[in-house]
Copies of this chain bind each other. A is one copy, B any other.
């Protein structure tokens, strides 16, 4: 009994150990205290404490390219024996030579073509197994770590702190919904039904008397930019009161959240630490933070300066205090 009480007190005294004292941490604590104080005009009933989080660049890293793109390139290599024609067909030929830049030279169209070739054509259960196997073994080219080790320790603490205070935490990502669901519960504590993302169409059919959902090479929904509020409304059906992002792709989600009756909190993670992670914002092709940064400044949204505000970025590092 004693140890449980001791643990609880410690958790209350120190809810966000990887966050340095400062404006960002104070703003988060103030949010939680206001919505949970049932004597306050800012009190929010538990059922409405919805918090939405972007994934790439907000909960884990996204450099030198989105981690799902590494998955695509690995899948192309794996599938190559069944596709001899890829040797002479772009963007696959470049991808197989390991020339990522050339493979991506065709822009969004090339990426989409590679995504469809690697994400469709199997059942949903087969795809889940493929992702589960990949995420358990694939390593990031720079850090040599598993991708799931490259989640931000301060954001894990933030997710846990919000949930301990009655928030329901959702992911709202431009990434593939079925690429995230197999591992988000284990890594973030976010169950599959609280993951919103981009998707391809699926089709119900009977195979040998057994019902399956087959993944089709056709876009169903792109959960990015103006798509994020649409995805939130489709899945949740009520407006979040807090939104967390890191790029212009999250701007509409933050606008939508803060314009709600109870909407009161928007936060942007700014990548400012070239040593421990990456530093990029207005000029980056991945995770560009430009318009949203201007709007954060004019509207008083919370902006996290990773270098200054976080004493630890990844769990595998020692804290810098």
Q: Is the CB of B252 within 8 A of A229?
A: no
Given contacts A124-B233, A193-B238, A237-B195, contact A211 B177 (CB under 8 A): no
Taking a contact as CB atoms under 8 Å apart, the answer to whether A213 and B235 are in contact is no
Q: With a CB–CB cut-off of 8 A, which chain B residues contact A203?
A: 226, 230
Asked if residues A191 and B47 are in contact (CB atoms below 8 Å), the reply is yes
Query: Could you tell me which residues of chain A, from 211 to 237, have a CB within 8 Å of some CB in chain B?
Result: 211, 213, 220, 226-227, 229-230, 233-237
Q: How far is the CA of A178 from the CA of B233 in the complex (A)?
A: 10
Chain B residues positioned under 8 Å from A193 (CB to CB): 235-238
Q: Which of B178, B192, B236 is close to A192, meaning CB atoms less than 8 Å apart?
A: B236
Bound complex: CA of A238 vs CA of B255, how far in Å? 31
Mask: chain A, 147-179; 1 = CB below 8 Å from B; 0 = not: 000000000000000000000000000000110
Q: Which residues of B contact A192 (CB under 8 A)?
A: 236-238
Question: In the assembled complex, how far is the CB of residue A195 from the closest CB belonging to chain B, in whole angstroms?
Answer: 6
Is A43 interfacial (CB-CB < 8 Å)? no
- A6-26: CB near B (< 8 Å → 1, else 0) gives 000000000000000000000
Q: Separation in Å of the A210 CB from the closest CB of chain B? A: 6
A230 touches B255 (CB 8 A): no
- Docked CA distance A292–B312 (Å): 57
A259 touches B210 (CB 8 A): yes
The answer, yes or no, to whether A316 is at the interface (CB within 8 Å) is no
- Please indicate the chain B residues that have their CB under 8 angstroms from the CB of A238 in the complex: 192-193
Report which residue of A205, A230, A234, A238 has the largest number of chain B beta carbons within 10 angstroms of its beta carbon.
A234
Provide the bound-state CA to CA distance between A226 and B213, in Å. Answer: 10
**Which residues on B sit within 8 Å (CB–CB) of A259?**
210-211
